[in-house]
Amino acid sequence: MTTIPTPEPAAHPALTDLAASFGRRVERVGDRVLVAIGYGLANTVVIIGDGGLVVVDTMEGVQAASEARDAIREHTDLPVRGVIYTHGHPDHVWGTRAWVSPEDEPGVEIVAHETVPYYVNEFANILAPRYTLGAMHMYGSLLPDGPEGFIVNGIGQRVRAGADRGFIPPTTTFRDEQELTIAGVRLQVQFTPGESPDEILVWLPDDGIVLSADTVYRSFPNVYTIRGARYRDPRDWYSSVDRIRALGAEHLVPCHGAPVSGAAEVDAVLTTYRDGIQYVFDQTIRGMNAGRTPDELAATVRLPEHLASSPWLAELYGKVEICVRNIYAGLYGWFSGDGADLLPPPPGEEAAEVVALAGGPDAAAAALRDAVADGRMAWAAKLASWLLRAEPAIDEALAEEVKRLKATALRSMAYATINANARNWWLTEAAVLDGTIAMDLPAIAGFVARSNAAELLHGVPERDTVEALSLRLDPERSADTTVRVGLALVDATPCTLAIRRGVCAIEDGIDGCDLTVTLRRDDLIALVTGALSWHDALATDEVALDGDRDRLLATVALFDGWEAPEG
């Protein structure tokens, strides 16, 4: 029998060094900028003004932000007069309540790009369950600390987001650039899309300090994030780096990691960074135009030594071959150009054919054992996936062994890689395979709905909140249902859920409805997130129904996660 080695828990030295670099501290840049590093995934930056503070980015939750705030408060006790969101990623906006209480909110200007509410809605509402599942894998949220589990994220410490979300919507937005004075601080904000399509820089011309958001950090950029996101165009990214570079800053303050000082050093970092991004983009396009497939490009496009050797382009967070696939898909689409990929057999059928070619499940499993024993871990993981995907399913006992073998292969790759994202994903998937971690998408969806609640959904237009309901309509349960439900929002724009046999269209107004519910926006958000049941809502004086109660309860039960409890 083949002996299967158990991989020794380990971490790439570059990752342990990276973890050490994120030790908790507050660094001063120039005379009036404080940077809190190591309190979560991202930094919080505070600009000390005349009688007040401007906080740039507020981290991933109130608890993490509170600890960073307390560290900042050892240096200044001035009140907060402004908050700037460099973009809408959760690790930059969810901790605002740590700095701004409801009582103080009217006196605080909150600045962001005009599209931030839209992208916050994507994270908090439209694709929240899927994004959360991906993020839990990529950030190693459920892994134990130590060489067998979590070491570091590629751009910061462990993500500390939970249910303590304290987002406050922006009060001042702009499109391309704007000059502002907050608490006596003269600053400019400029649109610099890159890692996020709503990203901005903050420039302090009187100090020679630029806050670069996530456009620059000490790793090859995450041009595609494996947790899932929209296409990130490398051309936008390196053009935004050029915009930062044109400022001639004396100090560069990223929102992840330590600042860089000295105009020459800042320029050198920015030049190397943008050249690395452009090189990968250009060579990917050259390869595409030469007819190469995504797999071929991912296997061949590499940074030249003079760029690959830069610590600013080490593949700690982003990875070149993953970036290459993103460029191909973003500009050309998913189709490789191979006709066999156009309408392939269903996954279970294809996997069964591969297993049959190997001589059947037992022979394929033997080949899998040999691959693991020989250290051919990437191939072993692939072969295991075919075995587990095959239809009809393989024997249950054999399937359990295959899961253990795949987990071994994934852990072996994780312990060797320099890339934190890949490590965390592989270790999380391995733990799910062997039952160490339970990862249930419906449960995650329920958690997301409950935890997002009012703090996030109040920051997006009510139409976006309602439109997300259409994504939850069960097509089978609603296959024979045609009904119009009016939402007469007393403090927002009324609209209608027009349910037509598996489709829920959102229409303006409430004309011609079979059922009409009169309610406040707060009640709608509570219903959408599950904080309030329909039974309880209809029992109050705040929610009124024109129509049949049982028909309404039957209608809302057509939506995933919106079934009314019995009562």
Confidence check: pLDDT of 261 > 80: yes
Q: How many other β-carbons are positioned within 10 Å of the β-carbon of residue 197?
A: 19
Backbone torsions φ then ψ of 484, nearest 5 degrees: -115, 120
The pair of structure tokens assigned to 555 is: 């209608």
HEC per residue, 159-171: CCCCCCCCCCCCC
Which pLDDT band, with edges at 50, 70 and 90, does 463 fall under?
confident
In the beta sheet, which residues pair with residue 496?
A: 486, 507
SS (H, E, C) 353-371: HHHHHCCCHHHHHHHHHHH
Predicted pLDDT of residue 518: 98
pLDDT the model gives residue 410: 98
3-state secondary structure of 459: coil
Q: Cβ atoms within 10 A of the Cβ of 401, count? A: 17
The pLDDT assigned to 556 comes to 96
**Torsion, Cα of 27, 28, 30, 31 (10° steps):** 170
Q: Using DSSP, how many helices (H) and how many strands (E) does the chain show?
A: 20, 18
Of 219-228, 317-326, 382-391, 431-440, the least confident: 431-440
Q: What is the pLDDT of residues 102-111, one digit of tens each?
A: 999 999 999 9
Q: What are the structure tokens assigned to 144, written together?
A: 């134990």
Q: Is 65 buried (19+), middle (13-18) or exposed (0-12) by CB count in 10 A?
A: buried
Rounded Cα distance, 567 and 559, in Å: 18
CA distance 281 to 283: 6
Q: What is the dihedral of CA 384, 389, 395, 399, to 10 degrees?
A: 40
Per-residue confidence (pLDDT) for residue 483, from 0 to 100 = 98
Neighbours of 546 (CB within 10 A): 14
Confidence of residue 139 (pLDDT cuts 50, 70, 90): very high
pLDDT-derived band at 120 (thresholds 50, 70, 90) equals confident
Amino acid symbol at 214: D
In the predicted structure, residue 452 carries a pLDDT above the cut 60? no
H-state helical runs in 176-309: 234-245, 263-289, 294-300, 305-308
Q: Is residue 43 within 8 Å of residue 257, measured between CB atoms?
A: yes
- The bridge status of strand 251-253 relative to strand 209-211 is parallel
- Partners of 253 in the β-ladder: 211
**Cα–Cα distance for residue pair 257/208, rounded to 1 Å:** 19
pLDDT for residue 433 is more than 50: yes
**Is residue 151 pLDDT above 60, yes or no?**
yes
Question: Distance between CA 542 and CA 530 in Å, rounded?
Answer: 17
Lowest mean pLDDT among 245-254, 393-402, 454-463: 454-463
List of domains in the chain: 13-332 (3.60.15.30), 347-433 (1.25.40.880), 462-556 (3.30.1050.10)
Give the residue-averaged pLDDT of 218-226.
Answer: 98
Q: Other C-beta atoms within 10 Å of 163: how many?
A: 12
Average pLDDT value over all residues in the chain: 94
Name the pLDDT band for 123 (thresholds 50, 70, 90): confident
Return the percentage of the chain with pLDDT > 90, whole number: 85
Residues 35-84: tens digit of each pLDDT: 999 999 999 999 999 999 999 999 999 999 999 999 999 999 999 999 99
Instruction: Find the helix or strand (DSSP H, E) in which 393 lies.
Output: none
Among 93-97, 277-281, 467-471, whose mean pLDDT is lowest? 467-471
Question: pTM here?
Answer: 0.93
What's the 3-state SS for 172-188? EEECCEEEEEECCEEEE
Structure tokens given for 315: 């593949």
Does position 567 have pLDDT exceeding 50, yes or no? no
Maximum separation of any 2 CA atoms in the chain, in Å: 76
Q: Which two tokens stand for residue 224?
A: 């595609």
Is residue 13 packed enough to be buried (19+ CB in 10 Å), middle (13-18) or exposed (0-12)? exposed
Mean pLDDT of the region 173-196: 98
Residue 112 · residue 169 · CB < 8 Å: no
Cis peptide before 392 (omega within 30 of 0): yes
pLDDT at 491 over 60: yes
Question: 């940074």: which residue's tokens?
Answer: 303
